[in-house]
Structure 1
Amino acid sequence: MPSTTWITAALLCLAASAHAAPPEPKVLLVVSSEGRDAGKTRPGFEMEEFANAYLVLRANGLQVEVASPAGGAVEADKFEPDDDLIRAVMADSAAASLLKATRRTQDVKPGEHQAIFVIGGKGAMFDLPKDGALQRLLGAHYERGGVLAAVCHGPAALVDVKLADGRLLIAGRRVTGFTDEEEKVFGKRWAKEYPFWLETRSREQGARWEEAALMMPNWVVDGRLITGQNPFSTTQAAEAVVRALGRTPVERTVFKEEASMRLVQRWLAGEQGEVRAQLQAYAARYKVDLIGMLGYYQFESAPDDATRRQALSIMELAAPHMPHPQLKLGIARAHAALGNPKRAREVLTALLAEKPDHAEARKALDALPS
């Protein structure tokens, strides 16, 4: 007959097991294996997107694994190692280890993870859509009740995924991703080699496509399907995954990139005075060059005067803190396009006083009506 001591110990063990915390949910990040030479000879995944997603998921107590079509070490496109976001993820030795030894997608079994999040980057347009193992994994994962997310070019992995009854996963679903407009502006080197453009193919497959203005944060939640439009949508998409897993996102560090986009959103929402004062007092907290370039490229692709005015206002927000000739040229062109040649002349004249050999500025000045 067992001793009283043995029985007591056994009961204590059972009680401890009954009250033990459940294991942390597991999330699989999927990245492209395509990258070579930091994107010079073949495009890879976006390190900033990986960093944002990884840091948000880990901050919320989720386990993270990484997979790619080929497995093993993967290479990101060129990134800025001194960026505060990149420094934060590089300080996590586990993140670096995961990228050096990714799992092969064909070795991942449906049900291993509660969520799968596909990271973007131009490489995702090449190897993810043709990875049959990944297609089957994503379809089976979703049908088992898993959360499925993708950002930027990552939704390229979703467009041909079929469910068990033969229906396309995205047909009739609200989705977003890197838009055709964004591709025309930023995809010039590789876009001509893509097997398809993401927005066009998604619409062809019956998706209910949603998008925001060029490079503005935008994420779409359709039940357990979560998609983000561009790199600046990654943190919100990751937090949507956290919510879909039944958790409330914790307070976290807001890095300069996200803080800058939030500032632009507030600016466009009518908080000009507060935003201008914030930027004046704390410019070092933001990536002002990102704000300026956002306005510049929005103007370059603007289809109407309303969009041009918005782009001009963003450029002028950055201008006092970003003395770059190209930004000043963009501001002048915007004024000219909006029927204000006097202001355009003033900006160009000041630019040429600083840069007398600026050929584009001289040409733009000569083209103004006298």
Structure 2
Amino acid sequence: MSPTLVFSQNKILFVVSNQDYYGKSKVKASNHFGEIVVPYDIFTREGYTVDFVSPKGGAVPIGYINASDSIHKKYLYNSFFMNKLKNTLKPLDVVAQNYSAILYGGGGAAMFGIAENIAIQNLARQIFNDNGIVSAICHGTAGLAYLKDDNGKSLYSGKKITGFADKFEDKAEEYYKTFPFAMDEAIKNNEGNFVYADNLGESFYVVDGRFVTGQDPSSASKMTSEIIKLIEKNKFSIPQTTIKKIDKVFSEWDNMPNKLGVAAGLLKDGKIVYLKGFGSANLNDEIPINEDTQFQIGAMAKQFTAFAILLLEDQGKLSLADDVRKYIPRLNDFGHKITIKHLLSQSSGLHDFMSLKEITGWREKDVFTQKDALDLIFLQKELDYVPGTKFSQTSSGFILLAEIIKQVTGQTLAEFSQEHIFQPLKMNNTLFLDDHEKIIPNIAISYQSSKNGFKYNPINYSIVGTTNLYTSAADMSRWYLNFENPKVGSKKMIEKLRSPVTLNDGKTTFRPTSGRLIYGQQYEHSERGLPKIWTFGLEGGYASNIFIFPNQKVTAFVLGNNIRYNGSLAMRMAQEVLGIDFPEPENIDFTKVKSIKMSPQQLESYSGYYWDNDRASARRVYVKNDALYYQSIGTSSESKLLPLSENIFQMILESDDVVMVKFRKEDGKMKMIYTSGKSDDYVFEVYKPLNISATELSTYTGTFYNKALKASYIVSQNEKGLCTSNKSQPVIDFTPIQVDLFLSNIRSFGSIRFVRDKQQKITGFYINSDRIKNLFFEKIYN
């Protein structure tokens, strides 16, 4: 049977023996400790997982221990490792497809119970048939004695095999008389070409095809390196069975080619292993999606802008420490230097231009240009905070970065990217669209759903830097391959792209609930215990997702015009090829989470309303059915809180995310601290909801105006309470939080805090949100 190309797993299976004595004698036998720990150490340092299997499973005897050897000593006192040897797997508990190599360990015990074990033979044969490596060291080569292929013929006919040659055995000793066979003859009888060096201790090993064997303990290090080389060399493809499993991820498009769809790409170990399109790019003309179909990827475009900036830094054409006003003097002098690093790290203190766009009354379908975005940014008179001292998720920095590229190179971001990034990488279906009227060939149309079916959902942006990048699945594959083997940019630059952004102190990182932000404008966030880098983009009818598992070298992404979040598709694709078991379950089993019992009275001490002033968000905590519940104000969804201690609770979710809610008293006030995974603390302070009469609400009404933005809002009353609107905004309702402080129901507004003069008359209000601070509107009419 010819071997099937396989997607190699990062797992190695070690075969060890349960034999305590040589045959039926009273002479102790054991597995050779050095022949186990030296390969184990190398494999694990290279990112491989090692499992142990023995004929009976459970504990195995070890010997030949050299306590003065650093590697021996390291693992002899390593409880995790020693526990593996105490709890080896049984052959029937092992799934061969999970392993890229099988290694037969040596020691006298290896002569017994291994070679004749049919289940272990089957494992070796299956691993080999899946393009895996079969290896053995010293007496471990005895395990290959009867190894056959699926047709009953030798698996290694004519191959060079080595091991502990019979000439080196002490034939006068009792142990030798118990051997079931002479290793040399057994390999020859199975049509192998047994070879050996004349002297021991010379690190002799042989590689013949996908067989790697070593003569004695001295060969352990070199032969392990050879096994790793072969594994890496074999990582070219994935088996058809895996392809079929990935295809099933997209089964909703089976026999439905004319529904809105996606293009998917999967990379493993620097190779493209899956690239397909599903569904329709254009419903009217029934044009199918393929790997070259172009999609808008929304905020995922930021990584390309960041790449371009770091590429210019790599070329010595700018420094991240440069003052932004060096390139854009029109930007106001705020009295604090804003650097390029501040823009990249989202710590500039600038308002978010998209929030300003909404506040100033731009409608969603208005044509909006790069100049319009810059004009809004240039209107800002005061920073939200000193640059580099805080983080805020704003997009203004990337509009300015695009302008910096233009000033440094004389080319627009679209032109520079085309010449210096996309063309060298042969990304022929990728561009920054800085003219919304430009016709793009082979494009997936943006749609939106309506009562009468689908209708066009055009994107009238001509802005670049933050969005408006169109690309295909094939081009995205080329883009991510460049991260593995850079053709554009240096390895040092790529490393920086994947390093976390920091504040001025060089230590504090940005950890929103999405994960830790890196320079490449993606987030580090674990997935069921595995490190992961991810981001997404949503724009019009387009939705894109990318998941990168750096330790496993797996990248999975989905681009779509199917009007939905595509993260589940990308993740399911990645799960099919990750090649290892996740350390944690897909959903936390809360029956196994250690909790405590709390009385309703104890729980009531945390009931109340909580306010996060930094992010302008409110929460409610309450007791129901003798349990504590958590709810975002303005929503109907609720989450139960499981008490882990008197003041620490875990949110019960169908997810692997560990969401914690902690309570503490400060200055006599209860505070609630929310964290998701390793996120920053989101601190809420208890407040008492106000019951404001209609008469009191009327004191807040009037017309409010911001001169710089030339925007006005009429604050009035409706049946719900206080509200506001302008010529192009829908009605915005406000919920009272504290005296003169109201929460809005849209993100751009966040909250408004009214201010009064000495006579306690309302003179204006400030808008505050997680993206804008202290934007003042003056009251001009009652």
Do both share a fold (TM > 0.5)?
A: yes
Correspondence for 2:58: 72
CA drift of 1:223 comes to: 1.4
8 Å contact from structure 1 (residues 181, 214) kept in 2: no
2:185 pairs with 1:200: yes
Do 2:157 and 2:192's aligned partners in 1 also have CA atoms closer than 8 Å? yes
The correspondence for 1:230, drawn from 187, 202, 216, is 216
The correspondence of residues 70-219 of structure 1 with structure 2, limited to 5 A, is 70-184=56-170, 188-215=173-200, 216-219=202-205
Q: Distance in 1 between matches of 2:215 and 2:149?
A: 24
d(CA) in 1 for partners of 2:20, 2:47: 29
Q: Give 1:42's match in structure 2, choosing from 24, 28, 40.
A: 28
Q: In the alignment, what sits opposite 1:56?
A: 42
1:148 counterpart SS class: strand
Higher strand share: 2
- Compute the displacement of 1:166 (Å): 1.4
The Cα shift of 1:170 comes to 2.4
- Does residue 27 (structure 1) correspond to residue 19 (structure 2)? The answer is no
| Corresponding pairs, count | 224
* Structure 2 residues not aligned, in runs of 5+: 1-6, 234-782
Q: Is the 8 A contact 2:138 2:216 kept in 1?
A: yes
Pair 213,60 (structure 1): closer, same or farther in 2 beyond 3 Å: same
The structural deviation recorded for 1:26 is 0.4
The unaligned stretches of length 5 or more in structure 1 are 1-21, 248-370
Higher helix fraction (1 or 2): 1
Q: What SS does the corresponding residue of 1:52 show, helix, strand or coil?
A: helix
Post-superposition Cα deviations, 1:275-313, rounded to whole Å, max 9, x if no partner, equal xxxxxxxxxxxxxxxxxxxxxxxxxxxxxxxxxxxxxxx
Structure with max Cα Rg = 2
- Given the alignment of the two structures, is residue 239 of structure 1 paired with residue 225 of structure 2, yes or no? yes
Closer, same or farther in 2 for the Cα pair 1:157/1:195, shift >3 Å? same
Residue by residue over 1:28-76, the C-alpha shift from the partner in whole angstroms, topping out at 9 and shown as x without a partner, is 1111111369x97431210011111111111111111111111111111
Alignment partner, residue 264 of structure 1: none
- Greater Cα offset, 155-164 or 202-211: 202-211
Any conservation in 1 of the 2:8–2:231 contact (CA below 8 Å)?
no
Q: Which letter maps to 2:11?
A: K
Matched-pair contact (CA < 8 Å) for 2:9–2:98: no
| 1:32 alignment partner AA | S
Amino acid in the other structure paired with 2:227: V
Name the structure 2 match of 1:360.
Answer: none
Instruction: State the identity %.
Output: 28
How far apart, in 2, do the equivalents of 1:126 and 1:200 lie?
A: 16
SS in 2 for 1:226: strand
* CA spacing shift, 1:230–1:189, aligned 2, 3 Å: farther
Instruction: Please name the residue that 2:689 is paired with.
Output: none
The one-letter amino acid paired with 1:188 is E
Q: CA, structure 1 residues 78+174, in 2 after alignment: closer, same or farther (shift >3 Å)?
A: closer
- Contact kept? 2:8, 2:100, Cα under 8 Å: no
Q: Equivalents in 2 of 1:149, 1:46: separation in Å? A: 15
| Residues in 1 aligned to 2:148 and 2:163: alpha-carbon distance in whole angstroms | 19
Whole-Å Cα distance in 2 between the matches of residues 246 and 70 of structure 1? Answer: 32
Aligned to 1:281: none
* Large movers: runs of 4+ above 3 Å: 39-42
Give yes or no for contact 1:24–1:63 (8 Å, CA) kept in 2: no
Equivalent residues in 2 for 1:313-328, closer than 5 Å? none
Q: Provide the alpha-carbon RMSD of the alignment.
A: 2.3
In 2, Cα distance between equivalents of 1:225 and 1:55: 21
The change in CA–CA distance for 1:47 and 1:204 in structure 2 (over 3 A counts) is same
CA distance in 1 between counterparts of 2:40 and 2:180 reads 28
TM-score, normalization by structure 2: 0.28
The TM-score with structure 1 as length reference comes to 0.57
**Secondary structure, counterpart of 1:35 in structure 2:** coil
Question: What does residue range 273-292 of structure 1 map to in structure 2 within 5 Å?
Answer: none
Q: Which residue of 2 aligns with 1:346?
A: none
- Structure 2 counterpart of 1:174, which letter? K
8 Å CA contact retained: 1:66, 1:98: yes
Contact preservation (8 Å) 1:35, 1:77: no
Larger RCO (alpha carbons 8 Å, 6+ apart): 1
Measured in 2, the distance between the counterparts of 1:93 and 1:36 equals 25
- Corresponding letter in the other structure for 1:213: D
Task: Give the partner amino acid of 1:241.
Answer: I
